[in-house]
Amino acid sequence: MAAYSADRDRGQAGRPSDRYGRELAEVARLGLKGCMDAAVAGNVLFVIGGGKLTVWDISRPASPVRLGSLGNLGNTRQIEVKDRVAYITARSDGLFLVDVGVPQTPKLLSHFDTIEMATGIWITGKIALVAQRTYGVQLVDVSNPKKPLHLGTVRTGEAQSVVARNGIAYVGVWAARKLVVCDIRDPRRPQVLSKTSLDGYGDGVWVQGKYCFVSTGHHAAGMKKRNESDPCFGGGHGLEIFDVSDPSKPARVSRIKTPRFYRIGMDMWDVAVSGRYAYLGDTYNGFFILDVGDPARPRFAAHKQLPFVKSRNAHSPVGGFAVTDGYVYVAGAWSDLHVLAAPGLARPVEIADPDPPGIRPPQPDAPTGFRVYRPKGQVWAVTFAGDTALVAAGSAGVHTVQLWPKITRLHVFPTDGFACDVKVYGSRAYVAEGKGGLSICRLGPGGVLERIGRYRSRGRSIRQVVVPAPGRYALVQAGGSWFEIVDVSDPRRPVRVLRDSQPGLLYGYQIMEGLYENRYACCFWHVSGFHWYDLRGENGPMRSGDNYPERVGAANGLALLENGTEALCTLNDGRYFLLKRTEKRPLAELPKFGTGQAGLSGGKPSIFGNTLYVSNRPRGTVTVMDISDITKPKLLAKYRLDGNPGLAVEHNGVAVIPAGYQGLLVQAETQTP
């Protein structure tokens, strides 16, 4: 989609300063190329971008002096600094905690396996709040920064950013256009208090006194056409102010708009407030300072649009910013860290949070009808070699476990990154271990794993692996958008033979298990739909040219039917449809099948005989259906979990569910769906 021109909108009112205040002067750049966010603590500036943290002395604010740096921090997105620790979100690479007590030599303290794409970050007391996009907000105990621990999750919807004051969290929710307010005073059982509509996609939030400030972008509410003829198209940019004296009933006080604009690719909007001034980052539109001394009548005081980047045909977007006395440090995603002079307008941002939530001791319990195996890490996936379970347990590596007659751990295989997936083919195990790549292991007696080979995709984490018969190729998700096929016929020398990326993202587990017609692999991207790959091409694996360009939602998936010529594809409303490789009809014309039960949702499907399991990680549900007649499914059971369930597995008629930080759930033998 082409960008709607902000300059065109400004031109209707004459000079930009006529509407958006005086233009701020840029006094320095740091030579960092692109960067995503910045934070200030005392006389020290912290900047992230491109997987790196750089630290700067700003004793002279207009002339920062570089002190130190730390790399290998993944897909860096937001940063907060508190008590000599920097907390850095890195999307699919999780959360990094860095000791910055000695600015010249920042040191990694720990790397935490978040439940999804770590995007926003806020620290309240000894708790880190991590906005997880579609999964909501995860609460993490950071009392010991070397050993962060999962506390709980509040399912807000597509969270971008979060702040907290006095045990209440305020969340900017993206495409749903919501301000969601949550009670986190019991961080193990956080609760949603209210959801309030916005006139743009939600992101940055700030609270000062009784007011909550929310930055918004993309399209305004009420858009009917996705083009410039609709006045709401690109009209969601701006700042909204709410009275949150009663957090359960936010009351809108005012709204002010920045230029109408739309371009996909960068979709972050940030806000902070100090005294009577609000600071607003609005990606391509630039940086704004607003006078909010009268919250009912906000007005623009100053602005700065970042440089135009010819190769991108757009102005460099604002990622984030930090404020000190008289100056603002603005992170340009495609340009640099820009130092802007704002005398009389820029003031250090202070955070008043006198009553943060405490942390209660855990009280683990098992869902009714299940036994639980709890490793120290997050359980992402499970597979079986005979009766031995192999458990991908995030930061705890891969555990081999005997589940019957009692649960007994056999062996722990440590991984270089988070163990996100594991598969077995023959006598080999294949482990997707995040930044550690793909490990190929020999599976020996007693469940012992021995690494015999490794494949790395430079700069990309391996999050999913599928090894279809006859075991020559491993299909992997690399990073946030790449599908790769690796020849593993010689496990000591795995070789990539195909790499592809299509419009959209791979949020996780979007590669189908098995092969259509014993030769075609399938992967779907959340924007461009389903793409097929021929593993028997004349010159090796190749794109088949088949594409079913329908969106089904990244939380959904597809499972191959026993006939090998159709896949069952789930939908958000709890129904499913059957898809052939060569299907050309639009989704609206395909038959959909469901149980007719209210309240069901989509998720990742897995099929065992006549039983269909649908695991919804964002919502924490597992639905079980009888598909003896695939056109008339019958609901057998629905489980609502505290954790985030991955693909369910059935072994000897018993359901085994990887449930994130809730552990591995093993259905009691006396319990049937």
Q: Tell me: the pLDDT tens digits for 327-354?
A: 999 999 999 999 999 999 999 998 889 9
CATH of 370-667, one of 3.30.390.10, 3.40.50.1400, 1.20.1270.10, 2.130.10.10: 2.130.10.10
- For 283, which DSSP code? B
Give Cα 623 to chain centroid, integer Å: 23
Q: Is the pLDDT of residue 198 over 90?
A: yes
CATH homologous superfamily for 6-341? YVTN repeat-like/Quinoprotein amine dehydrogenase (2.130.10.10)
pLDDT beyond 90 at 635: yes
Task: Say whether pLDDT at 673 is over 70.
Answer: no
6-341 and 370-667, same CATH topology: yes
State residue 225's pLDDT score. Answer: 92
What is the model's pLDDT at position 18? 66
**Secondary structure element (H or E) that encloses residue 660, with its range:** none
- pLDDT in the model for residue 17: 57
User: Is the separation of the CB atoms in 605 and 559 below 8 Å?
Assistant: yes
Rounded to whole angstroms, the Cα distance separating 517 from 469 reads: 12
Task: Tell the burial category of 60 from Cβ atoms under 10 Å away from its Cβ (0-12, 13-18, 19+).
Answer: exposed
Is 70 exceeded by the pLDDT of residue 528?
yes
CA 196 – CA 244 distance, rounded (Å):
11
> Which pLDDT score is estimated for 33?
87
Task: State which H helix or E strand residue 398 sits in.
Answer: strand 398-402
Stretch 165-179: mean pLDDT, rounded? 97
What Cα–Cα distance (Å) separates residue 151 from each residue in 57, 140, 154, 642? Answer: 35, 5, 10, 11
Residue ranges covered by each domain of the chain: 6-341, 370-667
Give the pLDDT confidence of 438-494 residue by residue, as tens digits: 999 999 999 999 999 999 999 899 999 999 999 999 999 999 899 999 999 999 999
Place of tokens 């495409």: 175
| Distances from the Cα of 239 to the Cα of 4, 269, 453, 659, angstroms | 19, 10, 52, 38
Residue 4 has pLDDT above 50, yes or no: no
Q: How confident is the model at residue 213 (pLDDT cuts 50, 70, 90)?
A: very high
Which residues, listed in sequence order, are joined to residue 465 by a DSSP beta bridge? Answer: 476
Higher-confidence position of 47 and 480 = 47
**pLDDT tops 60 at residue 406:** yes
Give the list of residues 6+ apart from residue 326 with CB closer than 8 angstroms, or none.
Answer: 61, 341, 342, 343, 344, 346
Under a CB-based contact definition with an 8 Å cutoff, are residues 111 and 98 in contact? Answer: no
Q: Check whether 3 has a pLDDT greater than 50.
A: no
Give the model confidence (pLDDT) of 250-293 as tens digits.
999 999 999 999 998 889 999 999 999 999 999 999 999 999 99
Whether residue 12 is predicted with pLDDT greater than 60 in this model: the reply is no
Is the bond leading into 645 cis (omega within 30 degrees of zero)? no
Residue 134 confidence (pLDDT): 87
**Residues 96, 87: Cα–Cα separation, whole Å:** 6
Mean pLDDT of the 533-560 span: 95
Distance of alpha carbon 160 from alpha carbon 215, whole angstroms: 11
Confidence of residue 9 (pLDDT cuts 50, 70, 90): very low
Alpha helices of 40-95 — where are they, by DSSP H? none
Q: State the Cα–Cα distance between residues 79 and 36, nearest whole angstrom.
A: 9
Residue 670 has pLDDT above 90, yes or no: no
pLDDT greater than 50 at residue 356: yes
Q: What is the mean pLDDT of residues 214-237?
A: 95
- pLDDT above 90 covers a percentage of the chain that reads 91
Answer positive or negative: Cα dihedral of 491, 440, 529, 516. positive
Q: Is the pLDDT of residue 671 over 70?
A: no
Least trusted range by pLDDT, from 365-369, 647-651, 663-667: 365-369
CA 288 to chain centre: 27
